[in-house]
Copies of this chain bind each other. A is one copy, B any other.
């Protein structure tokens, strides 16, 4: 693991940063709208405890879709594999991340996988807890534990601004309700409240790297040896990250980088190299598919140089 020097990392980052110009910052998130379009930061934390960083790692951002990986893990812990996959499928969809088309065409009418919005909303509905507030609290605690007990907070401004862009998610949720994917006991607005909260959890690159590290280490916290997530569930999550983690550019990222990763429209990317690195990236400028342009470029460059591909 001596292969990455800070100088080399800085060189790669400088090169990838140029690609940010071709994209757009997701304008609906006030905090990130203020972030410079060409911001780019990366933190790697090794299983040996070593940390290495470059670029704009002090920029806070929200988890957005990255949260889906960890609510999936909590839903698996709460309900088991069989109950979860009775409600969501396992197939990549090839479609936009918030497409409704697929919902209609597929029998028996369940979302394709847990990482598209329809699937993630369904997963959130499976989190145990007597109220949206309690569910959000359980999610926060679970995420914090995986993040090495770093204190996490909800970015309230982002939470509230989600409401302005929530029409599509609300539409999806009522569609799921109509198809009984969200059952009789599930209140749509309650689920959405929890879902918007999980998306609005604020992190830094180092938080993502720390969370990814636990996945890279098969669910075990490398600092204290505690098993935080059963290994089989980590395996499930990593598989979805490879097949569906980068929206409908997942196939391309698998060919080019070949590592488990999950992006969010905040420009964050969580990635990992098994047994070696937990990685957090932030680059707010997005491509047409919703992924951080410069962040993708940086990870592809590093994977090629360091032979990280699983394949």
- Binary contact track A174-217/B, C-beta < 8 Å → 1, others 0: 11011000000000100000000000000000000000000000
Residues of B within 8 A of A170 (CB): 174
Residues of B within 8 A of A149 (CB): none
Contact B102 A100 (CB under 8 A): no
| Residue in B99, B255, B310 whose CB lies within 8 Å of A104 | B99
Contact A239 B254 (CB under 8 A): yes
Residues of B within 8 A of A100 (CB): 100, 103-104, 175
Contact A251 B113 (CB under 8 A): yes
| A252 in contact (CB, < 8 A) | yes
Q: How distant is the Cα of A250 from the Cα of B89 in the complex, in angstroms?
A: 11
**Given known A-B contacts A175-B168, A178-B167, A258 and B239 have beta carbons under 8 A apart:** yes
Of the listed residues A91, A101, A236, A240, the one surrounded by the most CB atoms of chain B closer than 10 A to its CB is A91
Contact A174 B178 (CB under 8 A): no
Majority secondary structure, A binding face: helix
- Binary contact track A152-184/B, C-beta < 8 Å → 1, others 0: 000000000000000110111111011000000
- Binary contact track A103-115/B, C-beta < 8 Å → 1, others 0: 1111000001100
Contact B168 A243 (CB under 8 A): no
| A122 in contact (CB, < 8 A) | no
Contact A309 B251 (CB under 8 A): no
User: Which residue on B lies nearest to A172, using beta carbons?
Assistant: B171
Q: How many copies does the complex hold?
A: 4
Interface size on A, residues (CB 8 A): 48
**Given known A-B contacts A100-B104, A254-B243, A309 and B235 have beta carbons under 8 A apart:** yes
**Given known A-B contacts A92-B250, A239-B255, A167 and B171 have beta carbons under 8 A apart:** no
Q: How distant is the Cα of A95 from the Cα of B171 in the complex, in angstroms?
A: 19
Residues of B within 8 A of A172 (CB): 171
- Binary contact track A61-99/B, C-beta < 8 Å → 1, others 0: 000000000000000000000000000011111110001
Q: Which residues from chain A sit less than 8 Å from chain B, CB to CB?
A: 89-95, 99-106, 112-113, 167-168, 170-175, 177-178, 188, 235-236, 238-240, 242-244, 248-252, 254-255, 258, 260, 309-311
**Given A243-B250, A244-B251, 16 further pairs, Cβ under 8 A:** A91-B92, A91-B94, A91-B248, A91-B251, A91-B252, A94-B94, A100-B100, A100-B103, A112-B251, A167-B177, A167-B188, A168-B175, A171-B171, A171-B172, A238-B311, A310-B311
